[in-house]
Amino acid sequence: MKNYEEMARDVLSRVSEYESEQKLKRARITRIAAAATPVCAAAVIGAGIWASGALMHAEKPAVSEDSGIISETVTVTESSKSANTGSSSAAVTEKTTRRKEQEEATVATSEEESARAGAPWKPDPDKEADKTNEEVTASEETSEPAEQTEAETQANSDETTAAAGEHYLWCIFCSTIEWNGITYNDNAELDVSVYTQDKYIGKVSDFKGTYKDSVNYIINPDDSVYTTKENQYVLLVVKSEPYPFYGSVIAMTNPEYLNGVVPKNDNTDDQVSEDEVVEYNGVLNGILF
Amino acid sequence: MDNGASSYRRFRDNGDESGLVEIIRDYKDGLILYLTSIVGNIQTAEELAEETFVLLGTKKPRDKGGSSFKTWLYTIGRNVAIDYLRKYRKRTFVTLEDSAELVSEEEEIESAYLRKEQQLTVHRAMRKLSPEYQQVLWLIYFEELSNKEAARIMRKSVRSVESLLYRARKSLKAQLEKEGFDYEKL
Query: pLDDT tens across A43-90, in order?
Result: 999 999 888 877 665 555 544 444 444 544 444 444 444 444 444 444
Say if residue B28's pLDDT is above 80.
Answer: yes
* Residues B77 and B121 placed together within one structural domain of the fold: no
- Chain B partners of A5 at a C-beta cutoff of 8 Å? 21
Residue of B nearest to A7 (CA): B50
Residue of B nearest to A1 (CA): B105
* Residues B107 and B120 placed together within one structural domain of the fold: no
Say if residue A115's pLDDT is above 60.
Answer: no
- Chain B partners of A14 at a C-beta cutoff of 8 Å? 54, 57-58
* Residues B17 and B85 placed together within one structural domain of the fold: yes
Query: pLDDT tens across A186-234, in order?
Result: 888 888 888 888 889 999 999 989 888 887 888 888 899 999 888 888 8
CB contact under 8 A, A4 and B105: no
* Residues B151 and B184 placed together within one structural domain of the fold: yes
Q: How many CB atoms lie within 10 A of CB A26?
A: 10
Kindly report the nearest CA distance between residue B182 and chain A, in angstroms. 33
CB contact under 8 A, A14 and B57: yes
Q: Which of B73, B88, B113 marks a domain boundary?
A: B113
* Residues B108 and B120 placed together within one structural domain of the fold: no
Residues in chain A: 289
* Residues B134 and B75 placed together within one structural domain of the fold: no
Burial class from Cβ neighbours inside 10 Å (0-12, 13-18, 19+) for residue A203 reads middle
Given a contact cutoff of 8 angstroms between Cβ atoms, the answer to whether A236 and A228 are in contact is yes
Domains held by chain B: number? 2
% of residues, chain A, pLDDT over 70: 51
Helix (H) or strand (E) holding B80: helix B69-88
Q: Cα–Cα distance between B86 and B90 in angstroms, integer?
A: 9
* Residues B88 and B5 placed together within one structural domain of the fold: yes
* Cβ pairs A/B, distance under 8 A: 43
pLDDT of residue A271: 53
* Residues B20 and B41 placed together within one structural domain of the fold: yes
* Residues B29 and B102 placed together within one structural domain of the fold: yes
CB-based contact (8 Å) between A43 and chain B? no
Q: Which of residues 14-53 of B touch A (CB under 8 A)?
A: 17, 20-21, 24-25, 28, 42, 46, 49-50, 53
Helix (H) or strand (E) holding A237: strand A234-243
CA A178 to chain CA centroid, nearest Å: 28
pLDDT of residue B124: 79
pLDDT of residue A8: 93
Given a contact cutoff of 8 angstroms between Cβ atoms, the answer to whether B35 and B48 are in contact is yes
Residue of A nearest to B30 (CA): A4
Q: Which of B50, B81, B113 marks a domain boundary?
A: B113
Domain that holds residue B153: 114-186
- Nearest by CB: B50 against A5, A11, A19: A11
Given a contact cutoff of 8 angstroms between Cβ atoms, the answer to whether A75 and A91 are in contact is no
* Residues B20 and B39 placed together within one structural domain of the fold: yes
Given a contact cutoff of 8 angstroms between Cβ atoms, the answer to whether B73 and B126 are in contact is no
| A140 CB-near residues (< 8 Å, 6+ apart) | A149, A153, A173, A174
Burial class from Cβ neighbours inside 10 Å (0-12, 13-18, 19+) for residue A37 reads exposed
Say if residue B35's pLDDT is above 90.
Answer: yes
Nearest to A190 by CA among A130, A242, A261: A261
- Nearest by CB: B50 against A10, A18, A19: A10
Say if residue A30's pLDDT is above 90.
Answer: yes
Query: pLDDT tens across B43-64, in order?
Result: 899 999 999 999 999 988 887 7
By 3-state DSSP, what share of chain B in percent is helix, strand and coil, each rounded to 5? 75, 0, 25
Q: Cα–Cα distance between B44 and B8 in angstroms, integer?
A: 24
* Residues B52 and B118 placed together within one structural domain of the fold: no
Q: Which of residues 105-124 of B touch A (CB under 8 A)?
A: 105, 108-109
Mean pLDDT of A165-175: 63
- Residue A175 pLDDT grade (very low, low, confident, very high; cuts 50, 70, 90): confident
Residue of B nearest to A4 (CA): B25
Indicate the pairing of strand A182-186 with strand A197-203. unpaired
Residue of A nearest to B53 (CA): A11
Angle at the Cα of A37 from the Cα atoms of A31 and A41, rounded to 5 degrees: 165
Query: pLDDT tens across B77-132, in order?
Result: 999 999 998 888 655 555 555 656 666 767 777 766 766 677 777 887 888 899 89
CB contact under 8 A, B28 and A4: yes
pLDDT of residue B159: 94
Query: pLDDT tens across B127-165, in order?
Result: 889 989 999 998 988 888 899 999 999 989 999 999 999
Q: Cα–Cα distance between B138 and B156 in angstroms, integer?
A: 15
Average pLDDT, chain A: 69
pLDDT of residue A58: 55
Residue of B nearest to A11 (CA): B54
- Nearest by CB: A18 against B25, B28, B58: B58
Q: Cα–Cα distance between A91 and A96 in angstroms, integer?
A: 9
CB-based contact (8 Å) between A13 and chain B? no
- Residue A93 pLDDT grade (very low, low, confident, very high; cuts 50, 70, 90): very low
Q: Which of B92, B113, B134 marks a domain boundary?
A: B113
Q: Cα–Cα distance between B103 and A128 in angstroms, integer?
A: 110
Q: Cα–Cα distance between B119 and A279 in angstroms, integer?
A: 129
CB contact under 8 A, B25 and A4: yes
**pTM for the structure as a whole:** 0.45
* Residues B101 and B174 placed together within one structural domain of the fold: no
Q: Which of residues 155-174 of A touch B (CB under 8 A)?
A: none
CB contact under 8 A, B53 and A11: yes
CB-based contact (8 Å) between B12 and chain A? no
Kindly report the nearest CA distance between residue A5 and chain B, in angstroms. 8
- Chain A partners of B49 at a C-beta cutoff of 8 Å? 7
Say if residue A137's pLDDT is above 50.
Answer: no
DSSP class of residue A283? H
| Identity of the amino acid at B26 | D
